[in-house]
């Protein structure tokens, strides 16, 4: 969630927004320029339509200041928790293993690439920490 977008917008890597509206159906037309035709983005470089008209959506809702602040706080908290997990994983010296999740105290499984040191990790708890570098 960010300023200048609908609060249900979750990015065009997804088929539907959080309200269940299909991005391709609402914009129509060619794939090229779909991001600029979305009614979900009203500020920034993707707010001007290319290759077609800007679509409309009756479900568009701007996030409130509190929702934006809460979202930012949530993202900051997640970044700190992932950073803590990365440090802990590094201290293990292992390529694969399980550590205690800094977010929920559950089990966080991890794998470290021997080629570039990138970490893949996922907590056993639904909707908790998970990332891939």
Per-residue pLDDT, 83: 97
Per-residue pLDDT, 44: 76
**Are 57 and 95 members of one domain?**
no
Question: What is the tally of structural domains in the chain?
Answer: 2
Domain holding 109, by residue range, is 79-132
Asked whether residue 70 is domain-assigned, the answer is no
Q: Pick the residue with more confidence: 118 or 32?
A: 118
Asked whether residue 84 is domain-assigned, the answer is yes
Per-residue pLDDT, 43: 83
Asked whether residue 90 is domain-assigned, the answer is yes
**Are 59 and 83 members of one domain?**
no
Q: For the ranges 3-7, 30-34, 74-78, 123-127, which has the lowest average pLDDT?
A: 30-34
- Round the average pLDDT of the chain to a whole number and report it: 92
**Are 56 and 86 members of one domain?**
no
Asked whether residue 120 is domain-assigned, the answer is yes
* pLDDT above 70 as % of the chain: 98
Asked whether residue 69 is domain-assigned, the answer is no
Between CA 29 and CA 24 the distance in angstroms is 8
User: Looking at beta carbons, which pairs linking 27-31 to residues 24 or more positions away fall under 8 Å?
Assistant: 27/52, 27/55, 28/52, 28/55
């Amino acid at each position: 969630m960010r300023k200048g977008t609908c609060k249900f917008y979750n990015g065009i890597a997804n088929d539907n927004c959080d309200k269940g509206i299909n991005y391709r159906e609402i914009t129509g037309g060619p794939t090229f320029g779909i991001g600029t035709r979305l009614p979900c983005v009203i500020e920034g470089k993707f707010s001007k339509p290319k290759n077609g008209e800007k679509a409309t959506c009756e479900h568009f809702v701007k996030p409130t200041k509190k929702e934006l602040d809460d979202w930012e706080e949530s993202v900051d908290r997640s970044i700190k928790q992932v950073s803590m997990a990365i440090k802990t994983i590094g201290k293990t010296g292992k390529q694969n293993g399980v550590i205690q999740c800094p977010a929920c105290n559950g089990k966080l499984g991890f794998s470290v690439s021997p080629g570039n040191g990138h970490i893949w990790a996922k907590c056993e708890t639904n909707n908790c920490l998970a990332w891939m570098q």
